[in-house]
Structure 1
């Protein structure tokens, strides 16, 4: 395990080396000066898109925190509409929508890392030891540095880091050793780090959007997938899977983003309201997701899912198999 946690102290050095639209539905009325000479706020509808199921902590936090805070504090100038469960498209579509301004806001994962390599840092395998560790990194200087090119390169303004969680493999058979990965057909996101890791572990990787996973599992196009168990539960995939390997092979964050052109049209007060609401919502989601793990595990076990906790030998074998990915990174 020394190698596993020895990676993190070098993260600052490695980031130093590796890391060296029109938005918003505005009212047609013209902006009028207020008594103080400043411009009055225009009204905007903020469509917030994501690919998570309705009951996932991401959407619970959006409804209970972000929407309520924004609408209450903006005096009606900002209205929030939540589009969950890929209603406005899969991750790539919703991210592109925020980039070009057809969608005001979104909560994607790190799909932008193909164009902005520093965004990949957060999903290096076997890097984080627990939620507190991950949260400290993403909400600290490294998280800020990771997002510093998003606005200039992609036209999106970052607001807050939220959590998807520790990824684990679900499958239609038990995975108890590295040999059990051989020949396993696994859906993974179409992101280089994921695909490389899956191949290094011995699986046959099939990239596809998250909206297609249930059907692919049901029809046995793939044997398994990797996601936090909150997603496994909220998306109903337990109906077509039998096992979960608690591999914790990667931590996946999510990011609240807003179209940059829209952001720059907002008043300073509106910007502050949105930013503070996003941070409050994201913090609440981190809390919900971490607390839900045992409840999610119990629920899945009651649905017949068998959980396998890898022993030290198996975990070391997985970390060793991932070694070439770090060789490429460094």
Structure 2
């Protein structure tokens, strides 16, 4: 399972040289067996986003301290190593050792898309129960064979909501609204079914597109609205919670295999602990982010029960298509729903 708690005591106690039968040194099980190495970690979140905070406050110090300096971590936020497609391609090729993408790989690794199917998760506890358990492992089981990257841990982008330049209170208000989404089929289809006009754009183009009126709205978790400054060019947020959006700590499989066993354990546990911390930051930050955005003049609208049901009903045909296309889909959805009970 991705979420396997490893022992720091075991990791630290085995650091150093291990004598073999003939007095030779075993490089395969030592920390630092291959000399000092740098792990570049790329992602698209802003500097003060909980994802970047967790990487800097947990992942980087844990790896560097527990490897006794054999591993150095460099973190590149805010699409510094390219937009999501670019930095993820870098992790695949090995020019970048690690990344924290969203579910960009879902076109080819089909089960990963389940994590972003609409209106599927109830709250953060439900998400963590699913993604940190057997279902989460099942969703990533083909990732290494298809893309050459290893999944280390799931992290939280958060529950997605719609920010816009007008108040949205009904399905009629969504009709014809120009909405930016990622270039991912499930996102595009969902918002087309909601009646909007969809414009898929990279995340680093959102601010300019909103500012120039190319689009009227975008959908992302509230933490991203605040951290990326989109509230400066948006007046309203609809608390639609239409989809939970996870991210994933991934590492180039070849680079990972080249680490010593102890270094692998250190990296895995640091990723798990960092992601756990990031989940906590994301969940706890919502009310603070909301209060801050309201102080900046952003109006929050909680959809009425009728409006929420209408949005869920609009998404329902997507599940009929999922079940028809994938023979495993209905079973996974049922098991995910059972985790909330």
Same fold, TM-score > 0.5, yes or no = yes
SS at match of 1:98: helix
Are 1:175 and 2:168 an aligned pair?
yes
**Residue 61 (structure 1) aligned to one of 29, 54, 62:** 54
Query: 2:256, 2:149 → 1: CA distance?
Result: 9
The match for 2:258 is: 265
The match for 1:119 is: 112
Deviation of residue 35 (structure 1)?
3.3
SS at match of 2:159: strand
The match for 2:306 is: 313
Deviation of residue 33 (structure 1)?
7.8
Post-superposition Cα deviations, 1:227-260, rounded to whole Å, max 9, x if no partner, equal 0000000000000000000000000000000000
**Residue 304 (structure 1) aligned to one of 297, 303, 316:** 297
Are 1:199 and 2:183 an aligned pair?
no
Deviation of residue 41 (structure 1)?
3.5
The match for 1:288 is: 281
In structure 1, runs of 5+ residues without a counterpart are: 1-31
Query: 1:130, 1:88 → 2: CA distance?
Result: 32
Query: 1:161, 1:42 → 2: CA distance?
Result: 29
Correspondence list, 1:48-127, <5 A: 48-127=41-120
The match for 2:40 is: 47
The match for 2:320 is: 327
Deviation of residue 34 (structure 1)?
5.2
Query: 2:37, 2:141 → 1: CA distance?
Result: 26
Deviation of residue 54 (structure 1)?
0.4
Deviation of residue 285 (structure 1)?
0.1
The match for 1:251 is: 244
**Residue 165 (structure 1) aligned to one of 154, 158, 161:** 158
Aligned length: 299
* Structural RMSD (CA): 1.1
Deviation of residue 43 (structure 1)?
1.7
Tell me if the contact between 1:42 and 1:266 (Cα under 8 Å) persists in the aligned partners. Answer: no
Query: 2:275, 2:17 → 1: CA distance?
Result: 34
Are 1:38 and 2:26 an aligned pair?
yes
Query: 1:305, 1:216 → 2: CA distance?
Result: 18
TM-score (norm 2): 0.86
**Residue 129 (structure 1) aligned to one of 122, 127, 132:** 122
Query: 1:138, 1:33 → 2: CA distance?
Result: 37
The match for 2:270 is: 277
Query: 2:150, 2:265 → 1: CA distance?
Result: 13
In structure 2, runs of 5+ residues without a counterpart are: 1-15, 28-32, 324-341
Query: 1:305, 1:198 → 2: CA distance?
Result: 22
Tell me if the contact between 1:243 and 1:307 (Cα under 8 Å) persists in the aligned partners. Answer: yes
Q: Which runs of 4+ in 1 moved over 2 A?
A: 32-37
Tell me if the contact between 1:126 and 1:249 (Cα under 8 Å) persists in the aligned partners. Answer: yes
